Amino acid sequence: PSPSSFQPSGTSEATLRCEIEELKRKDLALDQEIAQLLSEGYSLEELEKHISLLHEYNEIKDAGQMLLGKLAVIRGVTTKQLYPEYDLELSD
């Protein structure tokens, strides 16, 4: 089978090539950012720890948002209307 037979339906080879190039640019930008942080004295272990903590924070935040959503449905209000009750900012 040809490589094009594995493409998702409606996805052209040109589109896939563009996506690959965009991913390569993002990879290079991330490598440069890591190099900058390392030159500022951060260690890879420290960066990995920060990334791990950010993932954990996002998972906890997602769970909190889900709970607020369920509570809003039960009360028949919007999630936004619950924020003041729990001293939350809309940016939280």
What string of H, E and C letters represents the secondary structure of 13-50? HHHHHHHHHHHHHHHHHHHHHHHHHHHCCCCHHHHHHH
| Model confidence, pTM | 0.54
pLDDT tens digits for 8-22?
Answer: 566 788 899 999 999
* pLDDT tens by residue, the chain, 92 residues: 555 555 556 678 889 999 999 999 999 999 999 899 889 998 889 888 999 999 999 999 999 999 999 999 999 999 999 999 989 888 76
